[in-house]
Amino acid sequence: MLPVLLALLVVAPPPDTSWPHQDLRERMVQQQIAARGLTDPAVRGALRSVPRHRFVPEVSPELAYADRPLPIGHDQTISQPYIVARMTALVRPDSADRILEVGTGSGYQAAVLASIVDSVYTIEIIPDLAASATERLRRLGYHNVVVRNGNGFDGWPARAPFDAIVVTAAPDAIPPPLLDQLAEGGRMVVPVGPAGGPQDLTLVTNDDGKLTRRTLAPVRFVPFLRPEP
């Protein structure tokens, strides 16, 4: 059985206003987010406040805020800022929401979500990444995030249902347990497709118990990992 790592919580920390990081984030939001038509003020505010450079400390701050994904070890990546912002906006986060994230990685997407919503439950299958994300989020003050090392295919039944689900790795097909854990009125955003093959960013909504899927754009994500037999 995989170990469980928890970080217990309350509210998002104040934004990092140190120079030059604040300027780098503002430039990132203006050039990569706003320029591409993403207008949600809460999402823009979250991208302005979360210190992305702290989630990829092995690269320079300029590269941390660049318009590109970056490696975080274990053949995993942190998505480019625009993809993080778009996926966040697609689930229409609200201050009262409880959100499930599958694929914690470095913890950056969880921190962005946590800056907007009530609570984030995030699952990471790679123990080292789960441990480092737990410590990083704790150190940065994201006390409304709970990190678990486990199998994201099964979701988190004990905390379900979720107002939104964000999946940051690409399964061949959407795991049925995640569909079951989406609350009435809930939204899920997930890249779907084979590793190295065509993948589609997909939005799932639950309206009156009816699940509707909409394909939005071609994307390229790391594959959705499952435990070895």
Structure tokens at 174: 């959407």
Which secondary-structure segment (H or E) carries 217?
strand 210-219
Alpha-carbon gap, residue 61 to 38, rounded angstroms: 23
Q: Which of 60, 79, 73 is nearest to 129 (CA)?
A: 73
Amino acid at 200: D
Q: Verify whether residue 115 is a known catalytic residue.
A: no
Which residues, other chains included, contact 103 with Cβ-Cβ below 8 Å and sequence gap of 6+?
A: 109, 122, 123, 124, 152, 167, 168, 169, 224
Alpha-carbon gap, residue 35 to 146, rounded angstroms: 33
User: Is 64 in a helix, a strand, or coil?
Assistant: helix
Which of 18, 49, 60, 79 is flagged as catalytic?
A: 79
Structure tokens at 187: 């939204």
Instruction: Name the residues annotated as catalytic.
Output: 79
